[in-house]
């Protein structure tokens, strides 16, 4: 199918919720995507931090195909092998006690919110339900996770949202303390605000917030939907912040390209949810679980060390480019702010030259596959360098 037809059908039949780049994907391998017109692109997006192993990793694809031909789905009224194996592997890897499987980041966060509310209502009273989140956070698009998202721009036109959320400024422990009241049951945060512009939280603030939550028996929920599964150079970003939240949510990178979400529960709340309290038709799907198991196998200590090294290398290269104002993030989650152009202008122009980048707020955002090679990084960085040089010349005119 040609680009014109694809655009026409998309415009006519698909709900218009996305502003798309002018690229129609045909196939991919590793860090390379081929468009329907045959043009090839080096990928610094991995979906949006989803394809941790790149496009169509052969071992991942084989595991998924094998599972699809063995057992595609069975309801949660029965057990299945990939689901329990993934649960055991995840818990052992992260030192959490139990996991609930969902199908997306928003759903994982919904599960975390329900767990925190039930924990507090079981232990204290029914009026202990409020979740405190951070200004500029992003937790999803469902009505409840929108309420959790601390950005009013996302709320408009969808009011009223789920009640029982409050927001505090990131980096300010006093602001947290001020907002906590007798209704509060949990604090929810991202270690690096991804959609908010790749903004890392201050380590001291995180540690003090964790200690304060422990003192008040407020559950600390870490939304690691974007930062988890090796993205930042450790399996969980919380390892680098030196804390263990009561609940951690995962999604994006976990399935290697298949929809999956996970709510990891620590000892306080591992047994909070009982029969009938929560559920999902697709959650724990054997094919998604088989894909996730292959991701966990490959995101080992060697790949994590490589993620740190490659992230540092990208930062060094970016810092030497024109118009670069700041570089933020950890590992292979990187945000770049420019002085003379927006991230969107740079991403648009780089795409024309054969490299895919994301944006977050005014920044250019990079979430390349963790398996990207040095040569592929250089290809993308050469294109970005050329892009910024041209944009700078254009601005000077």
Ligand X SMILES: *Cc1c(COP(=O)(O)O)cnc(C)c1O
**Residues found near ligand X in the complex (CB under 6 A):** 104-106, 109, 138-140, 190, 194-195, 223, 225-226, 251-252
Please tell me the distance from the alpha carbon of residue 2 to that of residue 245, in angstroms, as a whole number: 48
**Is 269 within 8 Å of 247 (Cβ atoms)?**
yes
Residue closer to ligand X by CB (options 106, 206) is 106
CB of 254 to ligand X, least distance (A): 10
Q: How many Cβ atoms are within 10 Å of 20's Cβ, its own excluded?
A: 11
Token pair, residue 279, equals 């559920």
CB of 255 to ligand X, least distance (A): 10
Contacts of 17 (CB under 8 A, 6+ apart): none
CB of 243 to ligand X, least distance (A): 17
CB of 194 to ligand X, least distance (A): 4
Residue closer to ligand X by CB (options 341, 367) is 367
Residue closer to ligand X by CB (options 32, 44) is 44
Residue closer to ligand X by CB (options 194, 197) is 194
Residue closer to ligand X by CB (options 41, 138) is 138
Distances (CA, A) of 320 to 33, 141, 314: 27, 37, 10
Residue closer to ligand X by CB (options 190, 294) is 190
Q: Which of 182, 183, 206, 185 is nearest to 134 (CA)?
A: 206
**Is 281 within 8 Å of 75 (Cβ atoms)?**
yes
CB of 391 to ligand X, least distance (A): 27
Output the residue with the shortest Cβ distance to ligand X: 105
Residue closer to ligand X by CB (options 251, 381) is 251
CB of 114 to ligand X, least distance (A): 15
Residue closer to ligand X by CB (options 219, 381) is 219
Residue closer to ligand X by CB (options 94, 109) is 109
CB of 264 to ligand X, least distance (A): 14
Contacts of 389 (CB under 8 A, 6+ apart): 322
CB of 141 to ligand X, least distance (A): 6
CB of 70 to ligand X, least distance (A): 26
**Is 340 within 8 Å of 381 (Cβ atoms)?**
no
């Amino acid at each position: 199918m040609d680009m014109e037809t694809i655009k026409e059908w998309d415009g006519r039949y698909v709900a218009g919720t996305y502003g798309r780049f002018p690229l129609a994907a045909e196939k991919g391998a590793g860090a390379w995507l081929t468009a329907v017109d045959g043009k090839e692109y080096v990928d610094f997006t991995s979906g949006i931090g989803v394809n941790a192993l790149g496009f169509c990793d052969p071992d991942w694809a084989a595991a998924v195909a094998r599972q699809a031909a063995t057992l595609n789905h069975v309801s949660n009224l029965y057990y299945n092998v990939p689901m329990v194996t993934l649960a055991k592997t995840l818990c052992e890897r992260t030192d959490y006690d139990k996991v609930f499987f969902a199908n997306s980041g928003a759903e994982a966060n919904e599960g975390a919110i329900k767990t925190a509310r039930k924990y507090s209502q079981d232990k204290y009273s029914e009026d202990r339900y409020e979740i405190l989140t951070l200004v500029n956070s992003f937790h999803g698009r469902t009505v409840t996770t929108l309420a959790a998202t601390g950005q009013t721009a996302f709320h408009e036109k969808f009011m009223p949202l789920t009640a029982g959320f409050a927001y505090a400024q990131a980096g300010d422990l006093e602001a947290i303390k001020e907002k906590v009241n007798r209704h509060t049951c949990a604090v929810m945060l991202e270690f690096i605000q991804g959609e908010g512009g790749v903004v890392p939280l201050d380590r001291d603030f995180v540690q003090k917030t964790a200690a304060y939550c422990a003192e008040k028996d407020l559950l600390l929920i870490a939304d690691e939907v974007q930062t988890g599964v090796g993205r930042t150079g450790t399996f969980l970003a919380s390892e680098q912040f030196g804390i263990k939240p009561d609940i951690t949510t995962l999604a994006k990178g976990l399935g290697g390209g298949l929809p999956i979400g996970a709510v990891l529960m620590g000892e306080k709340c591992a047994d909070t949810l009982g029969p009938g309290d929560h559920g999902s038709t697709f959650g724990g799907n054997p094919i998604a679980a088989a894909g996730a198991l292959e991701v966990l196998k490959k995101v080992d200590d060697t790949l994590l060390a490589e993620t740190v090294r490659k992230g540092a290398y990208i930062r060094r290269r970016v810092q030497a480019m024109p118009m670069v104002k700041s570089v933020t993030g950890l590992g292979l989650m990187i945000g770049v702010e420019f002085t003379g152009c927006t991230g969107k202008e740079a991403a648009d122009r780089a795409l024309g030259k054969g490299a895919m980048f994301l944006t977050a707020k005014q920044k250019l955002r990079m979430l390349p596959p963790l398996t990207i090679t040095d040569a592929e990084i250089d290809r993308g960085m050469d294109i970005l360098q050329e892009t910024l040089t041209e944009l700078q010349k254009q601005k000077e005119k």
